[in-house]
Amino acid sequence: MSVTVRVPAKVNVQLAVGAARADGFHDLANVFLAVGLHDEVTVTPADELRITCEGPDADQVPLDRTNLAARAALALAARRGIEPNVHIHIAKDIPVAGGMAGGSADGAGALLACNTLWGTGASRAELLAICAELGSDVPFSLVGGAALGVGRGEQLTVLEVGGTFHWVFAMAGRGLSTPAVFREFDRLAQGQDIPEPVASAELLEALAKGDAEALAAAVSNDLQPAALSLFPELADTLEAGRGASALAALVSGSGPTTAFLVRDAEAAEKVAAALRASGTCGAVRTAAGPVAGATVL
Ligand SMILES: C[C@@](CO)(OP(=O)(O)O)[C@H](O)COP(=O)(O)OP(=O)(O)OC[C@H]1O[C@@H](n2ccc(N)nc2=O)[C@H](O)[C@@H]1O
Ligand SMILES: Nc1ncnc2c1ncn2[C@@H]1O[C@H](COP(=O)(O)OP(=O)(O)O)[C@@H](O)[C@H]1O
């Protein structure tokens, strides 16, 4: 018997970053939107814990116990006194180290899959607590839809969204390390007063109304200057998308994937074609959101 869970990628429509905390994390006002690019995580009983991965970026995914999917299975098994003897297979479509929470998606997916396979019966609250231990973004991968994350991004409030938003995502030729981008944020912020991160009222209203123009006017990412400082070529991709009349162009989370908000599915195809022709980026994908979080198939 196997269990397969489908888990979405995310884009951060607002990422407000506060000053570094004593524990090394940063307080955030992190508005997540789950979008229709998915990984699928399948767990099957096996003699020992084993991970395999398929997909265009599979060679960049660690297959040892540092993989977030393995860590999720180990965390649930340890809590319940179960042997974590499963084969975890990841069918990966979310870019690796791209700022779209692919590893987090696999962590949330493996957790839900193992909970189902083992009949563990862990409550939603317990699963969310394990997710938060695994990483700041992991609870959102379980929940999906749209949510505001505060604290280090793990304390979620679900947001109502009044429509579907259309996006184009441009992958970069290489990844960016999330800790390195936060370190660069700290370096650039040296000597400056960093305000408390707060969610934008205009942005939340635009989401609630499903208003793409209003959302485009309100999106922001405090990590963007740091990502551009480490990866200056991203400015060319952002410019190419703006030139193709995207409503908004921004770096997704810690990057280096760039995200372009567009009016509808037709505009998405046009902007995607322009980005492909620009030669400023790697693969280009279109996706809409919000979509559901981790779901057992
Ligand atoms: C920036 C964001 C935006 O959603 O995601 P990505 O764009 O990388 O996917 C997240 O905050 C990333 O979340 P996640 O990838 O789960 O990070 P974690 O494993 O919790 O932390 C990795 C490292 O990032 C830094 N970190 C992360 C979250 C946070 N609120 N403050 C931080 O300073 C810390 O250096 C930490 O050691
Ligand atoms: N299941 C996984 N999929 C992808 N990367 C993983 C996974 N588990 C651990 N990692 C590690 O986490 C790093 C960040 O990956 P990812 O979650 O894709 O990026 P981001 O945090 O930018 O969204 C990778 O470079 C890889 O070393």
Share of the chain above pLDDT 70, in %: 100
What pLDDT shows up at residue 282?
95
* Alpha carbon of 272 to ligand 1 centroid (Å): 28
What pLDDT shows up at residue 168?
98
Q: Tell me the HSE value of 61 on the side-chain side, using a 13 A CA sphere.
A: 28
Domains and CATH numbers, the chain: 3-159 (3.30.230.10), 165-289 (3.30.70.890)
How do residues 108-123 score in pLDDT, each as one tens digit?
A: 999 999 999 999 999 9
Ligand 1 in reach of 253 Cβ (< 6 A): yes
Helices (H), the chain: 68-80, 102-117, 124-134, 138-143, 178-189, 201-209, 212-218, 224-230, 234-243, 265-278
Q: Whose CA is nearest to atom 9 of ligand 1?
A: 99
How do residues 275-292 score in pLDDT, each as one tens digit?
A: 999 999 999 999 999 999
Q: Supply the residues annotated as catalytic.
A: 10, 137
* Alpha carbon of 216 to ligand 2 centroid (Å): 28
Residue 173 in this model has a pLDDT that exceeds 90: no
Lookup: tokens for 195: 């305000």
Q: Whose CA is nearest to atom 19 of ligand 2?
A: 97
Written as one string, the DSSP assignment of 83-151 is ---EEEEEE--SPTTSSS-HHHHHHHHHHHHHHHHTT----HHHHHHHHHHH-TTHHHHHHBSEEEEET
What pLDDT shows up at residue 295?
98
Ligand 1 in reach of 26 Cβ (< 6 A): yes
Q: Give the pLDDT mean for 142-163.
A: 98
Q: What's the gap between Cα 184 and its chain centre?
A: 20
Residue 140 in this model has a pLDDT that exceeds 90: yes
Pocket test residue of 13, 32, 134, 137 for ligand 1, highest count of atoms within 8 A of CB: 137
Look at residues 34, 285, 65, 265 and name the one whose alpha carbon lies nearest to residue 137: 34
Spatial distance between the Cα atoms of 273 and 270, rounded to a whole number of angstroms:
5
Question: Could you report the predicted ipTM of this complex, rounded to two decimals?
Answer: 0.97
Q: Whose CA is nearest to atom 9 of ligand 2?
A: 67
Ligand 2 pocket list (CB less than 6 A): 61-62, 66-69, 90, 96-104, 106, 175, 178, 254
Q: Whose CA is nearest to atom 10 of ligand 1?
A: 137
Q: Whose CA is nearest to atom 5 of ligand 2?
A: 103
Spatial distance between the Cα atoms of 205 and 208, rounded to a whole number of angstroms:
5
Q: Which ligand is closest to the CA of 186, given by its number?
A: 1
How do residues 90-103 score in pLDDT, each as one tens digit?
A: 999 999 989 999 99
How do residues 192-214 score in pLDDT, each as one tens digit?
A: 999 999 999 999 999 999 999 99
Q: Give the pLDDT mean for 20-32.
A: 97
Spatial distance between the Cα atoms of 222 and 136, rounded to a whole number of angstroms:
17
Residue 15 in this model has a pLDDT that exceeds 90: yes
Q: Give the pLDDT mean for 81-85.
A: 96
What pLDDT shows up at residue 162?
98
Q: Which ligand is closest to the CA of 64, given by its number?
A: 2
Helix (H, G, I), strand (E, B) or coil at 49: coil
Please report, in angstroms and rounded to a whole number, the separation of the first and last CA atoms in the chain. Answer: 13
Question: Does 290 sit behind a cis peptide bond, omega within 30 degrees of 0 on the bond before it?
Answer: yes
Ligand 1 in reach of 179 Cβ (< 6 A): yes
Residue showing tokens 């070529």: 233
Ligand 1 in reach of 12 Cβ (< 6 A): yes
Spatial distance between the Cα atoms of 146 and 155, rounded to a whole number of angstroms:
13
What pLDDT shows up at residue 134?
98
Spatial distance between the Cα atoms of 282 and 249, rounded to a whole number of angstroms:
16
Look at residues 285, 291, 251, 281 and name the one whose alpha carbon lies nearest to residue 265: 285
Average pLDDT for the chain = 97
Spatial distance between the Cα atoms of 18 and 151, rounded to a whole number of angstroms:
10
What residues form the annotated binding site for ATP? 95-105
Residue 86 in this model has a pLDDT that exceeds 90: yes
Does pTM surpass 0.80?
Answer: yes
Spatial distance between the Cα atoms of 173 and 227, rounded to a whole number of angstroms:
14
